[in-house]
Amino acid sequence: MADDKVMLGHGSGGSMMKRIIDEVFFEAYGSDELLRGDDAAVLPALAPGERLAYSTDSFVVTPHFFPGGDIGRLAVCGTVNDVATSGARPLYLSCAFVLEEGFPMDDLRRICASMAEAAREANVRFVTGDTKVVNRGHGDGIYINTSGVGALAPGVNLGGAQIRPGDAVLVTGTLGDHGITIMSCREGLNFSADIESDAAPLNHLIADVLAAAPNTRCFRDPTRGGIASTLNELAAQSNTDITIDEEAVPVRDAVLGACEMLGYDVMQVANEGKMVCVVAADEAEAALAAMRQSPYGRDAALIGAVAAADPTRGPKVFLRTAFGSTRILDMLVGEQLPRIC
Amino acid sequence: MADDKVMLGHGSGGSMMKRIIDEVFFEAYGSDELLRGDDAAVLPALAPGERLAYSTDSFVVTPHFFPGGDIGRLAVCGTVNDVATSGARPLYLSCAFVLEEGFPMDDLRRICASMAEAAREANVRFVTGDTKVVNRGHGDGIYINTSGVGALAPGVNLGGAQIRPGDAVLVTGTLGDHGITIMSCREGLNFSADIESDAAPLNHLIADVLAAAPNTRCFRDPTRGGIASTLNELAAQSNTDITIDEEAVPVRDAVLGACEMLGYDVMQVANEGKMVCVVAADEAEAALAAMRQSPYGRDAALIGAVAAADPTRGPKVFLRTAFGSTRILDMLVGEQLPRIC
C-alpha cells in the first residue's frame, strides 16, 4: 500500500478503507469470517450445554511499543485472559481500532503482526472488526478495543463468589513487571535490562490448573490497581478476609528496587500476564505444580489464605510483612500510573 | 457522585473506578452479569443448533448529542443492527469507554441513559464492559466501543454472497438523514427543523421481514460510505450487477436540498437506522409490507434489481437517473464527512 500514514479516508467506509482492511488487517490476521465481508460474523454452534463467556477491554497504553510487548499483544492477551478466568476456552476475538490521522502505517503493521502472533499462541481468531480514524490531535495514535467469546463447559462455575474460608491464594508469577516496564519507558528510566512486560496469554495455563485442581474457585487478572485491588474485590465478592504473606509474594529484585526508589507499592502495580488464583487448600499443591509447568507460571507461589470475615467490620485484606507485623492492604484509590494498558 | 468531571483516577482500577462503575454505568444499565463483577460474563447456552452472530463497532461521532440521538444511541443501534443483519436475534452487548479527562459527568450520565433506553427497545442487555481514561488533550471527550452477540437459528444463511440475478433491492426508508444531521450540527447550518438522525434499532423489523419473506438474501447497514458503498460491496460479494432507480430512492426534500447545496451525493451519505435488503423478486412485496408495518420502515421502497455481471468487466452498480440516463455508481473513495458515527 502506497499510504505511509493513516489518513481520514482510511475510516471512510469507502475504497481507501477497503484498502487498509485488505492490505493491513487481513494480511496480518484474516480469517474466513473476516474475509466473508458481512456486517456480522456467523460462528458455529457450541457443543450442547456449553455456555458463552464474554468480555471486552480497550487498550490505550503509551508508549505503544515496550520491552516484552506492545499495545497489540496486550489487546489480545488482556481479553483472552479475561475470558479464560471464567474457565472458558477462548475462541473468537473482535478488534476495533480508533486511529489518529498521521499514525505511521508501519507501526500499525507491526502492531497487527504482534496481534496475530499472540492470537496464534492463544489459539483464538479474529472474526469481526471495525476501523475509525479521528482527526489529528483528537486521539493518541492508536486505541484498540478487543472483545472475546469463549465456550464454557457444563459444571464449571468459577468466580469471586465461590471463595470460602480455608481456601489457598496463589499467584502465577512475579508481580509488577508490566507496570514498572511502562513507567520506566515513559520516564526514560533504566532500572535494569531484565525488567520487561509480562504480557502473555494464560488460557492454556488456566486449563491445566483446572484439570489438576477441580476445586479451583476463581482466577482474576491483577491488571490496573494490582494485586491489592484484585484481592479486595475478591474479599468483597466472597465476604471473607484474605491474608497474604509479603515474603511469599514473588517480585523481581529489579522491580522491587524500582518500586522502592519511586515510592510505589508493588501490590498496586499492574500486571498483564499473571493470575491470582484461589483454590481449595487441599488442591493448592496440585494447582501450583500445574502452573509451574507452564512457561508463564514458573515463578508461581502460594501467597496466602482465606478466612471468615469479622461480621462487625466486613471483608478485609491483610498483608503480613517481612517484620511479622500485619497491616490492612487497601484498594488503590485514584491513579498511580495512568494508561498502563 | 461528587465528581462532576471524569478524572484519570476513574480509569485506575481502584476505588474511584469502582465508584464511576457503580454510580454511572450500573445505575443506567446494570445487569446480573455486570453486577456479578467477574472478569468475564457467563451467559446461558443457546438452543441446540443455534449459531453465534458477533460484531463490533467503535463510535467517535462529534458532536456527541444531535437531533434524533447521541453517541450512546448510535453505539447501541449500530452494533444491534450489524448483528441483526445476519438474521440473528441480538442478545448481549459489551460496552467499553475511552473517556478524556475532564469530560462532564452529566454528559456521561445522559449518554448512558440513552444507551439503556436503546438497549431496552432492542431487547438486548449489557453484560460486560471496560473503562479507560486518557489524559486531557489525548481523546475527544468520549469514544465508545460496543460489541454484540446474537443467536442465529439453524437454516438461516444471509449474506452478500447469497444474492443472485433477478433479485429485488429494497431500502427500509429515507436516505441521508443521519449524515446530513451531523454535518449541519457541526457546521452550525440549519437546513430544516425536520432533519434528524435516523439512529434506530432495526432487529425487530428484520425479524418481521424474515418471517414474511423467507427468501431474503441479505441485509446491509448503509452507514459510512452510504448506499453507494453498500451496493458496491454487495455486487462484488455476489459477482452481480445492481441497478437502482434514482426516482425510487426515498430521500427527504430537506436532505436532498442540503446535499445539492453542499455538493454531496446522497447515495454516499451515511445512515444509521436504515437497511438495504435484497430479496427474491417474488417476495419483494411481502418484504416491503413487513417493513412498512415497523415504525422504522414506513418509507420503505423497492429501489432496484440485480442482474448477472458482464464477465468482461466484473460487477458494477448502476444508477438510472430521473432523466432516463444510466451512470455507474462508484464507491466513495476517501472521506466525505469524517466521524459521522
User: For the CA atoms of chain B, what is the radius of gyration?
Assistant: 21
**From the CA of B186, how many Å to the nearest CA of chain A?**
14
**From the CA of A176, how many Å to the nearest CA of chain B?**
15
Residue of A46, A83, A55 whose CA lies nearest to B93: A55
Contact check, Cβ <8 Å, B53/A42: yes
Instruction: Please report, for residues A222, A321, B245, B305, the alpha-carbon distance to residue A176 in angstroms, rounded to integers and kept in the order given.
Output: 10, 18, 63, 61
Predicted local confidence at residue A194, as pLDDT: 75
The model's pLDDT over B53-93, given as tens digits with 9 standing for 90+, comes to 999 999 999 999 999 999 999 999 999 999 999 999 999 99
Q: Which residues of B touch A45 (CB under 8 A)?
A: 46, 48-52
Q: Which residues of B touch A52 (CB under 8 A)?
A: 41-46, 52, 92, 149
Sign, CA dihedral B293-B296-B300-B304, equals: negative
Predicted local confidence at residue A1, as pLDDT: 59
Main-chain phi, psi angles of A288, to 5 degrees: -60, -45
Q: What is the mean pLDDT of residues A244-251?
A: 97
- Taking the C-alpha atoms of A68, A69, A74 and A75 in order, what is their torsion angle to the nearest 10 degrees? -160
The model's pLDDT over B277-322, given as tens digits with 9 standing for 90+, comes to 999 999 999 999 999 999 999 999 999 999 999 999 999 999 999 8
ipTM value, please give it. Answer: 0.95
Among chain A residues, CA nearest to B42:
A53
* Cβ–Cβ < 8 Å for B89, B124: no
For residue B2, pLDDT over 90 is answered with no
The model's pLDDT over A79-100, given as tens digits with 9 standing for 90+, comes to 999 999 999 999 999 999 999 9
Quote the DSSP letter at residue B294: S
Q: Which of A31, A35, A147 to mutate to test the interface with B (most CBs of B within 10 A)?
A: A147
For residue A332, pLDDT over 90 is answered with no
- Label residue A265 left, alpha or beta by phi (over 0 means left) and psi (-120 to 50 means alpha): beta
* Cβ–Cβ < 8 Å for B81, B204: no
Size of interface A-B (CB pairs under 8 A): 309
Q: Which three cell numbers stand for residue B161?
A: 454472497
**CA–CA dist A311, A308 (Å, integer):** 9
Q: Which residues of B touch A225 (CB under 8 A)?
A: 12-14, 17
* Cβ–Cβ < 8 Å for B50, B153: yes
For residue B180, pLDDT over 70 is answered with yes
Q: Where are the beta strands (DSSP E) in chain B?
A: 41-43, 51-59, 65-66, 69-70, 89-100, 125-134, 142-152, 168-171, 216-220, 240-245, 276-279, 301-308, 317-320, 326-328
**From the CA of B131, how many Å to the nearest CA of chain A?**
7
**CA–CA dist A247, A212 (Å, integer):** 26
Contact check, Cβ <8 Å, A143/B143: yes
- Report the percentage of chain A scoring pLDDT > 70: 98
* Cβ–Cβ < 8 Å for B197, B69: yes
Quote the DSSP letter at residue A2: -
Q: Coil, helix or strand for A249?
A: coil
Q: Which residues of A touch B132 (CB under 8 A)?
A: 58-60, 143, 339
Contact check, Cβ <8 Å, A54/B17: no
In the sheet that holds B125-134, the strands lie side by side as A41-43, B51-59, B142-152, B89-100, B125-134
**CA–CA dist B96, B109 (Å, integer):** 15
Quote the DSSP letter at residue B60: -
